[in-house]
């Protein structure tokens, strides 16, 4: 038999008690509990030792009388005899059915000089260890004890002298002592079990709190609009903080597909990268993660609510991932019959396996991610509808004069570029885009004969034309969400020197929207053909902006505008006719509805 070992700390197992493996007492009784038990019974004349179910010593009373510490220091014969005694007692105790039921008192290895009481320790019906209580019952001069002294290499008389200081236990008191010892061992074990269960409950409560806090934080971040990849990056980081997963990965469908279609396998590397968000340990590249998602959901129409794989290395279908895949939990991101993507928790970082508790956490997050993705899709659809309607209205106005077709879209594009140069917020820039798009909507109330007249207008005709900003405000003002855009529509013909219309405002009394759109409107007018003149060369238009800074245009805005790459901007503005492809879904509807969308 191997020599008994004295370990210095409680061992733990990696059995998954939940999301995080919980410590589980590996000894029959914990160290501190055993020390208190040994101290109590030492005063009554007993020396205690703790053994596991395999007959190996785990703990012993190191502060007991010198007789016992001397014997224990020579473990050879003494330890072997005790181990055999423990195993024999354990076999007999297997017939006992009650926790803490003591083994009947029988002569020990060195009877009648030394005796032992064996108290089995059970967890439910399973024996997990035993407490031995050694005691002296004579003057230690028996033949068996003499032989044991020699086998241990100890002087017999020396042991007799040490035993003189040890209380002797009267034979008639043994049954009573056995019952009391059995009771105290049972109590010690019950306290350990209770402490362990409280620890498990405490850990589970902490886990539950962390999970609820995580779900709350994630839900609070899911306001619209925002790019799905940016949100998923934040969500992935938060999940890895509280979960056992080494990696959290999201693989998005290229488009929202029906349940009858699998995740599309796009061979374009850039497209694949756009569809994958991975956080934590960098186990694989986007292409491999997409392949894993497709393998897990080879037939989405028959896919279960979740997939839990803890033996990926033994699964041939995951052969391509064997170098990096050990465990995976996969949750399809469904919304009704639409597959929006897959959320995966990859590899358990504590060495254990994923459990149903891990699945529960991932499902709670996946449900909210799927809801967000669907809401973002609906938001994008609504944005497309809104922008389509706006462009249709604007184009109908511009179409009244073939020379100005596309003018409103170019003004919107230029206005937004100038707003960005002025370091306005992304939402303000998109609002300015919309104001630029709608700045001439009032021309729908101006007769075509005036709009399309070649040559110079009469004073009366020009006065009629100058009414279009006010007409535009009347058209748009009933739309509550667009009222903040009206200054751009009303004041885009005002001049900083006060000579503009309709109110003759000057300087900073002209709202920023009006000053920005004024500059963009004039620049586009100068660089396009009109009924009364041909388009000016770009260099000439730039010179005019510089010359009119401080009179017609806000000088600080003119300086910012001239600092742009106007040749490139000029070409991009021409390319956006029909519908601005750069109009972000994250800005268009938000520019109109403001913060009301995000809550």
CATH code at position 336: 3.30.450.40
Q: Is residue 206 part of a domain?
A: no
3 state DSSP class of 116: strand
Kindly state the tokens that stand for 444: 């729908």
Q: Do the Cβ atoms of 26 and 13 come closer than 8 Å?
A: yes
Kindly state the tokens that stand for 405: 């077709």
CA distances for 368 relative to 221, 384, 580, angstroms:
11, 24, 32
For residues 74 and 181, membership in a common domain is answered with yes
Q: What is the pLDDT of residue 562?
A: 95
For residues 371 and 403, membership in a common domain is answered with no
DSSP letter string, 237-250: HHHHHHSSEEEEEE
Q: Do the Cβ atoms of 89 and 168 come closer than 8 Å?
A: no
**Residue that is written with structure tokens 């004969």 in the block:** 449
DSSP secondary-structure letter at 535?
A: P
Distance, in Å, from the CA atom of 532 to the CA atom of 465, rounded to the nearest integer, reads 15
For residues 482 and 426, membership in a common domain is answered with yes
What is the edge-to-edge ordering of all strands in the sheet holding 328-335?
276-280, 245-258, 338-348, 328-335, 307-309
Pair type for strands 126-136 and 47-52: antiparallel
Q: Which of 143, 162, 196 is the last residue of a domain?
A: 196
Distance, in Å, from the CA atom of 413 to the CA atom of 570, rounded to the nearest integer, reads 10
Q: Is residue 204 part of a domain?
A: no
Q: Is residue 15 part of a domain?
A: no
Pair type for strands 47-52 and 276-280: unpaired
Write out the chain's pLDDT in tens, 599 residues.
333 333 332 222 222 333 334 344 456 788 888 999 999 999 999 999 999 888 888 899 999 999 998 888 866 778 888 888 888 877 776 655 444 444 445 556 777 888 888 888 887 777 888 899 999 988 888 888 888 888 888 899 999 999 888 899 988 898 899 899 989 998 888 888 888 778 777 777 777 777 777 878 887 777 767 788 888 999 999 999 888 999 999 999 876 433 333 333 444 555 777 889 999 999 999 999 999 988 887 766 666 678 899 988 888 888 899 999 999 999 999 887 788 899 999 999 888 899 888 898 899 999 999 989 888 888 888 888 888 888 888 888 877 776 677 888 899 999 999 999 999 998 899 999 999 999 999 999 999 888 888 888 899 999 999 999 999 999 999 988 889 999 999 999 999 999 999 999 999 999 999 999 999 999 999 998 876 778 899 999 999 999 999 999 999 999 999 999 998 988 888 876 554 444 444 444 444 444 444 43
- Sign (positive or negative) of CA dihedral 379, 380, 381, 382: positive
Q: Is residue 391 part of a domain?
A: no
Q: What angle do CA 429, 520, 508 make, to 5 degrees?
A: 75
- Sign (positive or negative) of CA dihedral 60, 61, 62, 68: negative
Query: What pTM was estimated for this model as a whole?
Result: 0.58
3 state DSSP class of 348: strand
Q: What is the pLDDT of residue 396?
A: 82
For residues 518 and 414, membership in a common domain is answered with yes
For residues 116 and 52, membership in a common domain is answered with yes
Q: Is residue 387 part of a domain?
A: no
**Residue that is written with structure tokens 């219309």 in the block:** 501
3 state DSSP class of 201: helix
Q: Do the Cβ atoms of 407 and 401 come closer than 8 Å?
A: no
Q: What is the pLDDT of residue 93?
A: 67
In the chain the first and final C-alpha atoms are separated, in Å, by 70
Distance, in Å, from the CA atom of 565 to the CA atom of 545, rounded to the nearest integer, reads 14
Reduced DSSP (H G I as helix, E B as strand, rest coil) percent helix, strand, coil of the chain, to 5: 55, 15, 35
Q: What is the pLDDT of residue 496?
A: 96
Q: Do the Cβ atoms of 456 and 532 come closer than 8 Å?
A: yes
- List the one residue out of 402, 398, 442, 397 whose CA is nearest residue 529: 402
For residues 164 and 252, membership in a common domain is answered with no
DSSP secondary-structure letter at 95?
A: T
| Radius of gyration from C-alpha coordinates of the chain | 42
For residues 543 and 452, membership in a common domain is answered with yes
The CATH number covering residue 471 comes to 1.10.3210.10
Q: What is the dihedral angle through the alpha carbons of 544, 549, 555, 557, rounded to the nearest 10 degrees?
A: -30
- List the one residue out of 476, 473, 505, 465 whose CA is nearest residue 490: 473
CA distances for 155 relative to 75, 147, 176, 207, 526, angstroms:
15, 11, 34, 59, 118
Pair type for strands 126-136 and 276-280: unpaired
What is the edge-to-edge ordering of all strands in the sheet holding 126-136?
57-60, 47-52, 126-136, 114-123
Long-range contacts of 183-187 (CB under 8 A, 24+ apart): 183/100, 184/37, 184/40, 184/41, 185/29, 185/37, 185/100, 185/119, 185/121, 185/131, 186/99, 186/100
Kindly state the tokens that stand for 246: 């080494």
What is the count of structural domains for the chain? 3
Residues in the chain: 599
Q: Which of 322, 345, 376 is the last residue of a domain?
A: 376
Identify the burial level of 107 via C-beta atoms within 10 angstroms of its C-beta, where 0-12 means exposed, 13-18 middle and 19 or more buried: exposed
Distance, in Å, from the CA atom of 332 to the CA atom of 250, rounded to the nearest integer, reads 10
Q: Which of 179, 196, 213 is the last residue of a domain?
A: 196
For residues 368 and 437, membership in a common domain is answered with no
Q: Do the Cβ atoms of 174 and 142 come closer than 8 Å?
A: no
Q: Is residue 268 part of a domain?
A: yes
Kindly state the tokens that stand for 590: 């938000």
Q: How many CA atoms lie within 13 A of 549 on its CB side?
A: 14
- List the one residue out of 401, 338, 22, 35 whose CA is nearest residue 196: 22
Q: What is the pLDDT of residue 94?
A: 61
- Give the domain extent around 249: 221-376
3 state DSSP class of 101: coil
Q: Is residue 9 part of a domain?
A: no
For residues 360 and 473, membership in a common domain is answered with no
- List the one residue out of 67, 89, 142 whose CA is nearest residue 112: 142
For residues 96 and 186, membership in a common domain is answered with yes
CA distances for 276 relative to 139, 142, 321, angstroms:
81, 81, 17
For residues 507 and 362, membership in a common domain is answered with no
Q: Is residue 509 part of a domain?
A: yes
For residues 451 and 584, membership in a common domain is answered with yes
**Residue that is written with structure tokens 């597909």 in the block:** 257
Q: Do the Cβ atoms of 148 and 109 come closer than 8 Å?
A: yes
φ, ψ of residue 297 to 5 degrees: the values are -120, 55
Q: Which residues of 235-336 form beta strands (DSSP E)? A: 245-258, 276-280, 307-309, 328-335
Q: Do the Cβ atoms of 218 and 238 come closer than 8 Å?
A: yes
- List the one residue out of 318, 427, 306, 426 whose CA is nearest residue 367: 306
Q: What is the pLDDT of residue 107?
A: 55
């Amino acid at each position: 038999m191997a020599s008994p070992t004295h370990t210095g700390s409680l061992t733990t197992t990696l059995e998954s008690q939940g999301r995080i493996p919980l410590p589980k007492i590996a000894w029959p009784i914990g160290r501190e509990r055993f020390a208190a038990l040994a101290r109590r019974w030492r005063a009554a004349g007993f020396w205690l030792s703790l053994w596991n179910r395999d007959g190996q010593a785990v703990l012993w009373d190191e502060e007991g009388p010198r007789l016992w510490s001397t014997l224990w220091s020579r473990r050879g014969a003494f330890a072997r005899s005790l181990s055999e005694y423990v195993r024999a007692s354990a076999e007999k105790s297997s017939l006992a059915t009650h926790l803490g039921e003591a083994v009947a008192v029988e002569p020990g290895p060195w009877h009648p000089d030394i005796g032992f009481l064996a108290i089995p320790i059970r967890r439910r019906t399973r024996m997990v260890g035993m407490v031995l209580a050694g005691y002296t019952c004579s003057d230690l001069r028996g033949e068996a004890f003499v032989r044991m002294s020699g086998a241990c290499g100890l002087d017999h008389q020396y042991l007799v002298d040490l035993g003189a200081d040890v209380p002797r236990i009267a034979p008639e008191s043994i049954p009573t002592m056995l019952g009391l010892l059995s009771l105290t061992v049972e109590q010690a074990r019950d306290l350990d079990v209770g402490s362990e269960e409280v620890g498990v409950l405490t850990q589970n409560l902490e886990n539950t709190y962390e999970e609820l806090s995580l779900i709350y934080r994630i839900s609070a971040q899911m306001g619209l609009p925002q790019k799905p990849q940016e949100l998923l990056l934040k969500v992935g980081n938060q999940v890895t903080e509280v979960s056992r997963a080494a990696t959290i990965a999201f693989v998005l469908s290229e488009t929202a597909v029906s349940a009858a279609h699998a995740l599309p396998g796009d061979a374009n590397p850039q497209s694949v990268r756009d569809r994958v968000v991975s956080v934590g340990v960098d186990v694989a590249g986007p292409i491999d993660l997409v392949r894993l998602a497709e393998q897990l959901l080879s037939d989405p129409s028959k896919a279960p609510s979740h997939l839990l794989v803890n033996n990926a290395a033994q699964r041939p279908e995951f052969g391509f991932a064997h170098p990096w895949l050990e465990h995976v939990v996969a949750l399809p991101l469904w919304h009704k019959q639409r597959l929006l993507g897959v959320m995966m928790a990859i590899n358990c970082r504590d060495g254990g396996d994923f459990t149903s508790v891990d699945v529960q956490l991932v499902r709670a997050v996946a449900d909210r991610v799927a809801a967000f993705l669907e809401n973002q899709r609906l938001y994008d659809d609504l944005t497309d509808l809104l922008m389509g309607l706006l462009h249709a209205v604007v184009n109908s106005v511009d179409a009244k004069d073939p020379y100005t077709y596309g003018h409103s879209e170019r003004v919107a594009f230029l206005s937004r570029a100038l707003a960005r140069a002025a370091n306005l917020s992304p939402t303000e820039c998109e609002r300015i885009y919309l104001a630029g798009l709608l700045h001439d909507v009032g021309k729908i109330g101006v007769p075509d004969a005036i709009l399309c007249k070649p040559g110079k207008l009469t004073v009366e005709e020009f006065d009629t034309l100058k009414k279009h900003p006010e007409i535009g405000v009347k058209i748009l003002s009933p739309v509550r969400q667009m009222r903040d855009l009206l200054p751009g529509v009303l004041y885009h013909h005002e001049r900083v020197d006060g000579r503009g219309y309709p109110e003759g405002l000057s300087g900073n009394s002209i709202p920023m929207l009006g000053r920005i759109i004024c500059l963009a409107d004039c620049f586009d007018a100068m660089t396009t053909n009109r009924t009364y003149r041909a388009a000016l060369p770009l260099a000439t238009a730039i010179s005019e902006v510089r010359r009119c800074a401080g009179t017609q245009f806000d000088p600080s805005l003119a300086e910012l505008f001239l600092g742009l790459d106007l040749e490139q901007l000029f070409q991009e503005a021409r390319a956006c006719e029909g519908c601005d492809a750069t109009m972000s879904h994250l800005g268009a509807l938000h520019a109109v509805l403001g913060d009301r969308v995000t809550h």
